[in-house]
Amino acid sequence: MKTVTLYDTTLRDGSQGEGVSFTVEDKLKIVKKLDEFGVDYIEGGWPGSNPKDEEFFKRVRGLKLKNSEVVAFSSTKRHGIGVRDDLNIKKLVSSGVKTVAIFAKSWDFHVTDALEISLEDNLKLIEETVGHLKDAGLKVFFDAEHFFDGYNHNRDYALQTLITARDAGADLLVLCDTNGGQLTSRIATIFREVREELDMPLGIHAHNDSGVAVANSLAAYEEGAVQIQGTIGGLGERCGNADLCSIIPALKVKYGLGLPALNAGQLTPLYYYVMEVANLVPDNQRPYVGKSAFTHKGGIHVSALQKNSATYEHVPPELFGNKRRVLISELAGKSNFRYKLKELGFNIADFDQEKLKHLSKNIKLMEHQGYQFEGAEASLKLLVYREYKDYTSFFEVDDFKIISHNFGDETRSEAVIKLTVNGEKVHTAAEGDGPVNALDNALRKALNSFFPEIAEMKLIDYKVRVLNGNDGTAAKVRVLIETSDGEKSWTTVGVSTNIIQASWKALIDSIEYGLMIHKGKEKKKTRVE
């Protein structure tokens, strides 16, 4: 199969997505990650459009990139101004890059109604801009904006924009589905016809407004595209761009491209890194890299999976840095429980058929009551320990009460708890911003002298879900608490018609599990010594 270069536009087109705003530092961090991953081209931004991008291009020169080349982006020169006098073009040339991407209108409707110039004048803009940049010693990628719409509306003129760019010296012609409205069969047909008309390297830039940007990009590849443009996670304006996190695995596995320059095993970490920097919630169902991409819930699926993972997985998750997960729920069969117990570190030989049957029944009953262990594996592990192992809790809760004080617009809560730790009675009170915070503070205060490692445990997320809203304020709620010790994080769950009681259950489990894994570390350390 032919080779293809990958062009990442996360920092430019991706930043136009709703809720995305990269700082210069953010962009530099992502450049480093993309370079480590091995992307061929990284579109850094538009140096003439804003001070942030100007600073970025100044600072990116100081990075010693090993695999990637940074590209600067701009439109053609403005109508009525000489190409040497156009400020955008000046800044493009002085940006310090070796390759630039220039976009121009290829849809006659846009030329006459958006730019409000003649079709001939638009061709002159293309010719003069591309020619000037080539004279400046730059490699030029020509992005034909709205090309497919333009081709459908006025085939000859759309082709003429490409011919003009080619004749002016463009190194690559990129066909853009800017509105994302084209379906895959039409993309393939037009791409094939253009390739037959022009003896030039072609690229594809697809948007996802019809939900087929990845398919359109791959169809273009099949028809001869030598460059595919996209973003990490499909970030971008409106419905986003073609997702490189789906395109790269398809090229590597489905088309059999080696892609030796890419560190494919880091694709999932790269996705999560970009989402974190962008301050976006990762999409669990994102193909290849999502948390749920290789997650299995149905008992029949898991049973077959244990015999051969190819039964329900089209590629090995590890190939792209992901991992397999099996969920425990009311849909789970014995295979799920065996797999999950092994994954949680238990010896399957310790669980006979009767124990597995009892565990399955117990968990399904709890799920019926509102518990959900899919995202609360710490509580699941504690449940197994408490019921089937010779396990002694680190502390026992004897009693607790909450007192709230109202000071005008401010409410403070006080929690009083009674615990038994190593046979010793502990009676402690603490204040907090709310009842759950007060309970958390009191519990930590009571246990700190016995278990100093509690100081390392921080509550990093707290979620409440109403399970039966028709009951109003008497509704049952499910509380999920995520805790971290700086090295790893774990999630616990509590369910009750009383939100404080549900929170308390999840809080107790979070501290209990944290102590359990800490003691496990201590045992391993002792064995090593």
Per-residue HEC secondary structure of 80-110 comes to CCCCCCCHHHHHHHCCCCCEEEEEEECCHHH
In a domain, 434, yes or no: no
139-145/99-105 β-pairing = parallel
Kindly indicate the confidence band of residue 518, based on its pLDDT and cuts at 50, 70 and 90. Answer: confident
Higher model confidence: residue 161 or residue 374? 161
Q: What is the CATH number of the domain that holds 139?
A: 3.20.20.70
Together in a domain, 201 and 87? yes
pLDDT at 529: 42
In a domain, 437, yes or no: no
Q: Which residue has the higher pLDDT, 391 or 426?
A: 426
Residues 261, 330, single domain; the answer is: no
146 contacts 107 by C-beta, under 8 angstroms: yes
Quick check: is 391 in a domain? no
Mean pLDDT, range 107-120, rounded to an integer: 95
Q: What is the pLDDT of residue 299?
A: 61
Given a cut of 90, whether residue 303 has pLDDT beyond it is no
The DSSP symbol for 27 reads: H
Instruction: Return left, alpha or beta for 96; rule: phi > 0 is left, psi -120 to 50 is alpha, else beta.
Output: left
Same domain, residue pair 258 and 324: no
Please tell me whether residues 332 and 209 are part of one structural domain.
no
- Helix, strand or coil for residue 274? helix
| Sign for the pseudo-dihedral over CA of 164, 166, 171, 176 | positive
Does residue 95 carry a pLDDT above 80? yes
Average pLDDT over residues 326-344: 64
Q: Is there a domain that residue 477 lies in?
A: yes
**Is the model's pLDDT at 190 over the cut of 70?**
yes
Pairwise pLDDT comparison (295 vs 133), residue with the higher score:
133
- 23 and 150 both lie in a single domain: yes
CATH code of the domain containing 477: 3.30.160.340
pLDDT of residue 470: 67
Say if residue 127 is in the same domain as residue 237. yes
HSE value, Cβ hemisphere, 13 Å, CA-based, for 48: 19
pLDDT band at 182 (very low <50, low <70, confident <90, very high): very high
Q: How confident is the model at residue 309 (pLDDT cuts 50, 70, 90)?
A: low
Q: What are phi and psi of 499, to 5 degrees?
A: -60, -30
**Measured torsion, CA atoms of residues 405, 406, 409, 411, in degrees rounded to the nearest 10:** 20
Give the residue-averaged pLDDT of 406-416.
Answer: 81
Are 133 and 105 in the same domain? yes
pLDDT of 288 reads 96
At 347, is the pLDDT very low, low, confident or very high (cuts 50, 70, 90)?
confident
When pLDDT is cut at 50, 70 and 90, the band that residue 524 belongs to is very low
Task: Write down the pLDDT at residue 72.
Answer: 98
| Residue with more model confidence, 471 or 98 | 98
Report the pLDDT value the prediction gives residue 410, as an integer from 0 to 100.
Answer: 76
Residues 118, 216 within the same domain:
yes
**Whether residues 193 and 49 fall in one domain:** yes
Query: Distance of CA 214 to CAs 20, 182, 282, Å?
Result: 21, 12, 18
Same domain, 352 and 475: no
Residue 405 belongs to a domain: no
Q: What is the span of the domain harbouring residue 356?
A: 295-363
Of 314, 341, 363, the last residue of a domain is: 363
485-515: pLDDT as tens digits: 888 889 999 999 888 999 999 999 999 999 9
What distances in angstroms separate CA 390 from CA 100, 330, 382, 422, 515, one per listed residue?
67, 26, 12, 17, 16
- State yes or no: pLDDT of 188 exceeds 90: yes
Instruction: Pick the last residue of a domain from 246, 277, 308.
Output: 277
pTM: 0.73
Whole-number average pLDDT of the chain = 89
In this structure, is residue 335 part of a structural domain?
yes
Measure the CA–CA gap between 462 and 496, rounded to whole angstroms.
Answer: 15
Where is pLDDT greater, at 334 or 474?
A: 474
Last residue of a domain, one of 218, 244, 277: 277
Helices 499-528 and 435-447: crossing angle in degrees, nearest 10, is 30
Percentage of the chain modeled with pLDDT above 70:
91
β-bridge mates for residue 41, sequence order: 7, 69
> 405 an active-site residue?
no
Q: Which pair of tokens denotes residue 261?
A: 């320059």
Tally of CA atoms within 13 A in the half-sphere of 465 that contains its CB: 11
What is the per-residue pLDDT across 419-428, written as a single tens digit (0 to 9) for each? 999 899 999 9
Does residue 305 sit in the same domain as residue 218? no
Give the mean model confidence (pLDDT) for residues 173-200. Answer: 97
Top pLDDT among 144 and 480 is at 144
Cα 234 to Cα 13: distance, rounded to the nearest angstrom: 10
Specify the pLDDT at position 523. 53
Which one of 110, 207, 301, 518 is the catalytic residue?
301
> What is the band of 240 on the pLDDT scale with cuts at 50, 70, 90?
very high
Region 389-413: what's the mean pLDDT? 83
Domain count of the fold of the chain = 3
Q: Which residue has the higher pLDDT, 305 or 380?
A: 380
The answer to whether residues 255 and 352 belong to one domain is no
Token pair for residue 473? 């304020």
Q: Does 152 fall in a domain?
A: yes
pLDDT recorded at residue 368: 75
Report if residue 342 sits inside a domain.
yes
